[in-house]
Structure 1
Amino acid sequence: MPKRNKRVKTCKDNNLSNLPDDILHQILSFIDTKFVVQTCVLSKRYRDLWKTIPDLSFDSTNFNRVFYFKKFVLDVLNRRDHSVDICKFSLTCRGRINKSFMTKVIDYLVSHNVKHLCLHVKWGEFHLPQRLIACNSINSLVMETFRPEILPGNWFGFVGLQDLHLSKMQFNYESQQPFDPFSSCQNLRNLCLCDCYLSGFSVFRITGPQLITFNLSNFVLANPGRIELLAPVLTSFSLVKSIPLNFALVELPAITNVNVQVFVPFQFFLSNPSRQSVANTLTNMFRVLRRARFVTLSYGTLKILIDAPNGLQPSPFTELEKMKLKMQYGQNSIAIPPHVSAYLLSASGYRTTLEIQVER
């Protein structure tokens, strides 16, 4: 029995080893690069395989000290096959980075035409060099703890960028002029801003001639700032875990899917003026999104409409086909007041399909 088990195991190992390099690269791309390098001890087949993998992922939590982590990252970059470009590169470092380390990493990425870049680091005083901003190969960028100060001139370059995800971001722009940080990203198609706080300006402008999806999560825009969304081909908009935002009234002729799941602190409901102010901001935002055909609203969003002291504006959704209401289990909220249902559905001639989803 032990021999038979050994033969079966050997057969399985050989079958895996016989796969083409590109298939093995794809399998290894789901594993942290530290463990990918360790596969070199498995057999001759894997001895140098890690040197040609195009996707690299480094996480400092897999090391006892940040010093060893940085040394490992640089060793891998120095010893890999330099004729192979980098497709995806992910760097997660919980300790403070230093200029020398990041400069070496960025130089290597730029010279090897990185396409998808993910940086979860504490930037400190480090500034992104112009050669990275001007790198035309980058079409996907994820950055954490982002501040505009790390960019030359506080503006994005990345002219080839198609997908951008910024999290834990702070913008403080002391000017009455519109703040339009992504205007140079003319090819941007997907934009996600998560855990962000913006202050100090009157207009936060998103210029996206090719922008298709725009997602905001836990997004705070300090008063009296407003968002101006210039995106003629935008089809999908999502706002979750945020208070209603003040939007400038603009045309979004292609908007199709809207997901609004706002979160309003309890103090907003303590007085009639506060409740009405929040309701006005929400309904004004709906006017910007009025051409949407598929709309999803949370119970918290619906409650703002229900509690508006002075009623609601005329229904904005003229082309609505389906309305989904996401309710929480145990909330006695299935019965929607007539004035709220009229606000949501009447402009579409009550032809809308209404779906209620109860979540535990």
Structure 2
Amino acid sequence: MEFDHDNVRQRVVEEDRLSSLPDELIHKILSCFDIKFGVQSCLLSSRWEFLWTSMPCLNFSTDHFRVLGKFAKFVNHVLSHRNHQIQVSSVNLYFRGEDNQGFVKKIAKYAFSHNVQQLTVSLQSSRYVFPTVLFSSQSLKDFKLISNTTKTPLDFPALTTLNLNCVTLWGDLFSKCINLKKLTLKYFVVDNNRQLLYGYLNVSPQLSSFCYTSSYLGCYVPLHFSNDQFHSLNKVSFCLRKYNPNKAYKEEDVRNTIYMLQKLHSARYLTLSADTVEYISSFPDLFLHHSSPFSNLVCLTIDSSMRKDVAYKVKMSTEAKNFLLGNSPSATLIMKLSN
């Protein structure tokens, strides 16, 4: 049977269902890709020619450019030709390299001037310092920063969700985030006066979700909260990871971890890694003068999913168990095993 190419081509043109979709839906499809793809989509048809200029979601990545200078020119092209009447809802920026102050500053200024609400910045560099303009916005509600040292206080009065990953914290960063409700700190350290010290976090008492993950116990820095209590705390996830099973735990660090958990006493749903439980269980005498602080606990989950041994059994002392569940006898205890 002979294949009719002309007939197929005609049917494709006549049934161009993608171009018949409303702009909002096409924007949503394009937002799943880098903005470079969105710009290139203008070649598909006259219907698509200017669609990218009104996209509310902007995703920039240097991975699609061999030379950083070409990426900087592309950023200038996108921002200068975009429809400036359209607000920016979200920006995702992923880049490698050192000399990036120019386009990072340009993207941040443009996004903040167009009332961006969600911003994700991922950096593959150990020496780069972000421009201060990146840390001040009246509209930003969701901010994620991956891999950097920041000394500039975060001036985000509207911010409700903050995710810091592989970041070195320096000084008081959170006091101006007065509406912060969800805080995630993952693989981070606290650096004060060029020395790793116990960190003090001045976090909003409105915090409802707190997720804490240390890279390894060898890099672990216990945190102290400036607030005496969190009235709205609902979910807490606390994950410490053992880096050397043969190295002894430090009593002072365990003591500070217990104090840190006491500050989170209003949590209703508490998740602890298996290493965390074994960590605080290593000095049972430390609980002699501490009753259970968790009076609102609905569910305690012990997460062993990072363990490779499926049959692994968590070593939890009686004192640690009483500390976690003694004041919430009806709370559900869930043991999450590795897959």
TM-score range with shorter-chain normalisation?
0.7 to 0.9
The corresponding residue for 2:78 is: 76
Describe the SS at the equivalent of 2:91.
strand
Give the aligned partner of residue 239 of structure 2.
261
Contact preservation (8 Å) 1:145, 1:168: yes
**Pick aligned residue for 1:187 from 172, 176, 179:** 179
What SS is found at the alignment partner of 1:15? Answer: coil
Give the number of the structure whose residues are more often strand, by fraction. 1
Kept in 2, the 8 Å contact 1:168–1:195? The answer is yes
Q: Which of the residues 320, 325, 332 maps onto 1:345? A: 325
In 1, Cα distance between equivalents of 2:223 and 2:112: 39
Partners of 1:100 and 1:332 lie apart in 2 by 51
AA in 2 matched with 1:324: T
Of the three residues 244, 261, 266, the one matched with 1:291 is: 266
**Superposed CA offset, 1:11-59 (max 9, x none):** 55x2111111111111111111111111111111112222222222111
CA distance in 2, matches of 1:34, 1:25: 13
How far residue 233 of structure 1 moved from its aligned partner, in angstroms, is 2.5
Contact 1:297 1:325 in 2 (8 A): yes
TM-score, scaled to structure 2: 0.81
| Aligned partner letter, 1:257 | K
Give the C-alpha shift of residue 287 in structure 1: 1.7
Q: Quickly say closer, same or farther: Cα 1:287–1:43, change in 2 above 3 A.
A: same
Matched, 1:167 2:165: yes
Q: Secondary structure at the match of 1:239?
A: strand
Cα separation, 2, equivalents of 1:60 and 1:285: 40
- What's 1:307 paired with? 282
Alignment of 1:24-43 (within 5 A): 24-43=26-45
Residues 33 and 297 of structure 1: is their aligned pair in 2 closer, same or farther, counting only changes over 3 Å? same
The one-letter code matched in structure 1 to 2:234 is T
Q: Identity percentage over the alignment?
A: 26
Residue-by-residue CA offset, 1:161-212 (whole Å, 9 max, x unaligned): 333333333244xxxxxx43222232333333333221336xxxxxxxxxxx
Instruction: Give the secondary-structure state (helix, strand or coil) at the position aligned to 2:285.
Output: coil
For residues 341 and 185 of structure 1, the distance between their equivalents in structure 2, rounded to whole angstroms, comes to 35
Once residues 115 and 70 of structure 2 are traced to their aligned partners in structure 1, the CA distance between those partners, rounded to angstroms, is 26
Partner of 2:132: 128
- Distance, in Å, in 1 between the alignment partners of 2:104 and 2:113 is 14
CA distance in 2, matches of 1:167, 1:190: 14
Distance (Å, rounded) in 1 between the aligned partners of 2:169 and 2:272 = 28
In the alignment, the residues of structure 2 paired with residue 284 and residue 111 of structure 1 have an alpha-carbon distance, to the nearest angstrom, of: 42
2:295 matched to 1:322?
no
Q: What SS class does the counterpart of residue 132 from structure 2 fall into?
A: coil
Structure 1 281/105 Cα, relative in aligned 2: closer, same or farther at 3 Å?
Answer: closer
Pair 1:281 & 2:256 matched: yes
- Give, in angstroms, the shift of residue 345 of structure 1: 2.4
- Cα distance in 2 for partners of 1:345, 1:230 equals 26
Give the equivalent residue in structure 2 for 1:357: 336
Unaligned runs of 5+ in 1: 173-178, 202-220
Q: Does residue 60 in structure 1 map to residue 62 in structure 2?
A: yes
Cα distance in 2 for residues equivalent to 1:226 and 1:134: 23
CA RMSD of aligned residues (A): 3.2
* TM-score (ref. length: structure 1): 0.77
Counterparts in 2 of 1:266 and 1:59: CA distance versus 1, 3 Å: same
For residues 160 and 38 of structure 1, do their structure 2 counterparts lie closer, same or farther at Cα, with a shift above 3 Å needed?
A: same
Look up the equivalent residue of 1:240 and give its one-letter code. Answer: T
The aligned counterpart of 1:216 is none
* Cα displacement (A) at 1:353: 1.7
Shift of 1:358: 0.9
Q: Is the 8 A contact 2:162 2:180 kept in 1?
A: yes
Once residues 133 and 6 of structure 1 are traced to their aligned partners in structure 2, the CA distance between those partners, rounded to angstroms, is 51
SS in 1 for 2:230: coil
Report the secondary structure of 1:188's partner residue: coil
Q: Secondary structure at the match of 1:142?
A: strand
SS in 2 for 1:91: strand
CA contact (8 A) 1:261 1:298 kept: yes
Three-state SS of the structure 2 residue aligned to 1:280 is helix
Change (3 A) 1:158 1:297: closer
Q: CA deviation at 1:300?
A: 0.6
What SS does the corresponding residue of 2:327 show, helix, strand or coil? helix
Whole-Å separation in 2 of the counterparts to 1:340 and 1:99: 49
Secondary structure, aligned partner of 1:266? coil
Contact 1:115 1:137 survives alignment (8 Å):
yes
